[in-house]
């Protein structure tokens, strides 16, 4: 059997801004009834999210994206698809054989994190080989829809679906049209507001005792109890070699000089009243140990001082005036792995300071409609803003993928600074999206095991 080998990187095709394409898009939109009138027709389909109708409607951008099984797929295929005729079809492709190597440092790939993701440039090579311009590409396990990005860059259309509402939300933002200027203006407005509301939470006194600095991040450490002297010790102070930038597996107790490992010790814990869930919580004890900050353009680092502790105490004793989620972590070995440490609810994965700033951001974002692109920005910073971001000298090692592991040494990053820097991570994605004239994908939230997929899929020239 002959094989085709492609080594050249596929290039995005120029979008054809034709009147017929625009007319088809308008025809499709006009044919779609309001989603609120269609919810009953999809409510019992496998994978339809459990939620309030108003929340599903608010999350959706019908007909292109629905946070439920998409009732418009049939019409999308009717308008944009090519009927398959067995007698006249002459489709034939040789097997694709090529070494594929695409890194994960692409700015579009990194615009938003997700635990299962393939670079779109790798997918483009397969789509270009096996399909023609104008074909519809189907991905029933789309995740963040890199398939959709690849298809649209090659002038194909895409039907995309995933069981996860989080995945399809990210997929929508990767595959929808964006007004870049409007988006940039909105992020700047919110940046000024978050500075006014939360800037004071990320201030620290310089070592001269007079100048205020802007915190970049704070390092927090677990507190353990020595099994020999029964005294508390700060893990950072006992186990970390700052000069070498490593955490020693074996170390000595700073109180009694006994040889210790982390596993040989128990964690210290505090009991406090969590007003968000109206109950007492026993949680492992963590303390701040180091601050990295800026005075002007110059960076410094220092140990936590009394002023820093007083600031944290003030924040801890204050009520957050904005809504934030307080859901109990769902059943499951991984989802409840941190119950024994007192991290039992969603909001426990964030320091009080970062939870406040994030809840303020979420509140302000809702003032702008549509808000999907801004929420895409917000959800993009959540992993890095959480307690799961591990400390390592000179590096931001990130979270341990595939788990909800909370390390003993964590970074607490400045949310205001993260919001300021985030647009540069999505700049290339926005540039790519703004170059496309049409929405060439339709996204559904449902199980791929469902029989709901339209019969048209069986008779289309679909790949």
322-379: pLDDT as tens digits: 999 999 999 999 999 999 999 999 999 999 999 999 999 999 999 998 888 899 999 9
**What pLDDT was estimated at residue 454?**
55
* Residue 6: band (very low, low, confident or very high) from pLDDT cuts 50, 70, 90: very low
- For residues 58 and 372, what is the distance between their CA atoms, to the nearest angstrom? 10
Q: Is the pLDDT of residue 56 over 90?
A: yes
Summarised one tens digit per residue, pLDDT across range 385-422 is: 999 999 987 666 678 888 999 999 999 999 999 999 98
Arithmetic mean of pLDDT, 161-175: 94
Q: Please check whether residue 207 is in contact with residue 302, taking contact to mean a CB–CB distance below 8 angstroms.
A: yes
Nearest partner of 378 among 364, 362, 389, 367, judged by Cα: 362
Summarised one tens digit per residue, pLDDT across range 273-316 is: 999 999 999 999 999 999 999 999 999 999 999 999 999 999 99
* Residue 459: band (very low, low, confident or very high) from pLDDT cuts 50, 70, 90: very low
In three-state form (DSSP H/G/I as H, E/B as E, the rest C), the secondary structure along the chain is CCCECCCCCCCCCCCCCCHHHHHHHHHHHHHCCCHHHCHHHHCCCCCCCCCCHHHHHHHCECCCECCCCCCCHHHHHHHHCCECCCCCCCCCCCCECCCCCCCCCCCCHHHCCCCCCCCHHHHHHHHHHHCCCCCEEEECCCCCCHHHHHHHHCCCEEEEEECCHHHHHHHHHHCCCCCHHHHHHHHHHHHHHHHHHHHHHHEEECCCCCCEEEEEEEEEEEEEECCCCCCEEEHHHHHEECCCCEECCEEECCCCCCEEEHHHCEECEEEEEECCCCEEEEEECEEEEEEEEEECCEEEEEECCHHHHHHHHHHHCCCCCCCCCCCECCCCCCCCCCHHHCCCEHHHHCCHHHHHHHHHHHHHHCCCCCCHHHHHHHHHHHHHHCCCCEEECCEECCCCCCCCCCCCEEEEECHHHHHHHHHHHHHHHHHHHHCCCCCCEEEEECCCCCCCCCHHHHCECEC
Rounded to the nearest angstrom, the gap between the alpha carbon of residue 340 and the centroid of all alpha carbons in its chain is 26
Q: Is the pLDDT of residue 2 over 80?
A: no
Summarised one tens digit per residue, pLDDT across range 20-29 is: 777 888 889 9
Summarised one tens digit per residue, pLDDT across range 198-243 is: 999 999 999 999 999 999 999 999 999 999 999 999 999 999 998 8
Q: Cα dist. 306→222, 293, 310, 357 in Å?
A: 19, 16, 6, 23
Q: Is the pLDDT of residue 13 over 80?
A: no
Summarised one tens digit per residue, pLDDT across range 350-362 is: 999 999 999 999 9
Q: Please check whether residue 167 is in contact with residue 144, taking contact to mean a CB–CB distance below 8 angstroms.
A: yes
- For residues 62 and 60, what is the distance between their CA atoms, to the nearest angstrom? 6
Summarised one tens digit per residue, pLDDT across range 127-148 is: 999 999 989 999 999 999 999 9
Arithmetic mean of pLDDT, 239-250: 91
**What share of the chain has pLDDT > 70, as a percent?**
91
């Amino acid at each position: 059997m002959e094989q085709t080998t492609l080594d050249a990187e596929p290039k995005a095709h120029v979008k054809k801004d034709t009147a017929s394409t625009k007319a088809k898009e308008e025809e499709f939109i006009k044919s779609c009834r309001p989603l609120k009138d269609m919810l009953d027709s999809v409510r019992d389909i496998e994978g339809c999210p459990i939620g309030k109708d108003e929340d599903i409607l608010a999350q959706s951008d019908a007909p292109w994206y629905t946070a439920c099984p998409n009732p418009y797929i049939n019409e999308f295929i009717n308008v944009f698809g090519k009927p398959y005729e067995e007698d006249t079809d002459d489709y034939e492709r040789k097997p694709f054989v090529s070494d594929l190597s695409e890194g994960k440092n692409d700015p579009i790939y990194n615009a938003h994190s997700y635990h299962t993701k393939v670079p779109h440039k790798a997918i483009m090579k397969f789509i270009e080989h096996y399909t023609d311009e104008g074909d519809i590409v189907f991905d029933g396990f789309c995740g963040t829809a890199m398939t959709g990005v690849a298809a649209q860059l090659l002038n194909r259309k895409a039907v995309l679906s995933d069981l996860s509402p989080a995945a399809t939300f990210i997929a929508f933002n990767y595959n929808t049209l964006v007004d870049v200027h409007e988006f940039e203006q909105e992020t700047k407005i919110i940046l000024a507001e978050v500075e006014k509301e939360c800037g004071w939470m990320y201030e620290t006194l310089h070592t001269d005792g007079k100048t205020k600095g802007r915190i970049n991040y704070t390092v927090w450490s677990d507190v353990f109890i020595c099994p020999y002297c029964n005294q508390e010790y700060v893990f950072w102070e006992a186990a970390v070699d700052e000069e070498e930038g490593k955490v020693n597996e074996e170390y000595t107790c700073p109180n009694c000089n006994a040889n210790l490992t982390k596993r040989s010790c128990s964690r210290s814990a505090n009991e406090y009243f969590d007003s968000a869930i109206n109950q007492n919580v026993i949680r492992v004890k963590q303390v701040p140990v180091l601050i990295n900050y800026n005075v002007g353009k110059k960076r410094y680092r220092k140990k936590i001082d009394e002023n820093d502790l007083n600031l944290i105490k003030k924040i801890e004793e204050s009520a957050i005036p904005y809504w934030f989620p307080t859901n109990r972590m769902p059943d499951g070995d991984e989802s409840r792995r941190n119950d024994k440490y007192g991290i039992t609810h969603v909001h426990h994965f964030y320091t009080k300071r970062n939870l406040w700033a994030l809840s303020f951001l979420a509140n302000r974002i809702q003032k702008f409609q549509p808000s999907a692109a801004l929420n895409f920005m917000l959800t993009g910073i959540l992993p890095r803003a959480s307690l799961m971001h591990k400390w390592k000298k000179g590096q931001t090692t990130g979270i341990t993928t595939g788990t909800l592991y909370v390390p003993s040494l964590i970074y607490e990053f400045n949310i205001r600074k993260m919001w300021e820097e985030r647009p540069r991570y999505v700049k290339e994605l926005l540039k790519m999206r703004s170059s496309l004239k049409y929405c060439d994908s339709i996204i559904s939230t449902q199980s791929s095991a469902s029989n709901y997929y339209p019969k048209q899929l069986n008779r289309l020239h679909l790949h």
